[in-house]
Amino acid sequence: MSQSPFVCTVLPTYNERDNIGPLITGILAHAQTPHLVLVVDDNSPDGTAQIVEEVAAQANQSGAMGATDDARGRVKVALICRTGEKGLTSAIQRGIDEALDTYGADIVTWMDCDLSMPPADVPRLVAALLEQDADLAVGSRWIPGGADVAHGLMARTLSGVINRFAMLLLGSHVHDYTSGFIAGRAALFRRIRLRGDYGEYCIDLLGRAHQAGFRLVELPYVCAPRNAGVSKTGANLWDYLVKGRKYVAAVWRLRRRANAPT
């Protein structure tokens, strides 16, 4: 790219009013290129959207909440409120579509909205794409320098088992298939759309991107405890097992896809 890339960070939210303001502020404070924060809120009853509107009014040079003729660097915060649709994967995909088609983003990133993923690491993911000529950068808890201090032993153990299973069947070019802390080039997202209900979308995305010949890189990050609110990862062992079954199924589908005759 001859000029600094226009980056859009998509934030899928549901009941994150106490986290979303500091997260948006942190992302913009650390941004090293023209940057848009695009919040996709699933009609949160706790008033998350109202907080976003307040932050946007302060951050934007104009009062516009939608597309402009000069979105690059002009609109810094935008909000999409969904009322007839919900879910993590579809929210991220909606944000990707808006980032590419409405705002013309060169790079799209996303992360959890509970401040467990450091806003300061977003520029590191973007820099990895540019400096290593990669198509997709993954924040990883399971490579040297990374860690998960947010979750208990049960969650870390199950995550480790799923990721080892994924590496065994799909390859060790990625160590954190369930990361959810992603930066990617527009060209990749125009070819690959997200699939799945919850965290299995990340396994599917990383697996299909690798199979399609895109270059993936990993950077370590430390997953910190949720700042406020209730975790949506899993409330008990049963929740983890239900979601874990979907993760395993996603790995198996990708394995079969790789072995299918062409």
The pLDDT of residue 188 is: 98
Which one has a higher pLDDT value, 233 or 116? 116
* pLDDT beyond 50 at 69: no
Reported as a pLDDT band with limits 50, 70 and 90, residue 67 is very low
The pLDDT of residue 63 is: 41
pLDDT digits (tens, 9 = 90+) for 43-52: 999 999 999 9
Token couple for 67: 């597309």
Strands 216-220, 77-81: parallel, antiparallel or unpaired by DSSP? unpaired
* pLDDT beyond 70 at 66: no
Are the beta carbons of 123 and 144 closer than 8 angstroms? no
* pLDDT beyond 50 at 144: yes
Helix locations, the chain, DSSP H: 17-30, 48-59, 88-101, 122-131, 153-170, 186-191, 200-211, 237-259
Give me the residue spans of the domains in the chain: 7-259
Reported as a pLDDT band with limits 50, 70 and 90, residue 73 is low
For the domain made up of 7-259, give the CATH fold. Spore Coat Polysaccharide Biosynthesis Protein SpsA; Chain A (3.90.550)
C-alpha span between 189 and 97 (Å, rounded): 9
| 3-class DSSP state of 41 | strand
Average pLDDT of the segment spanning 152-170: 91
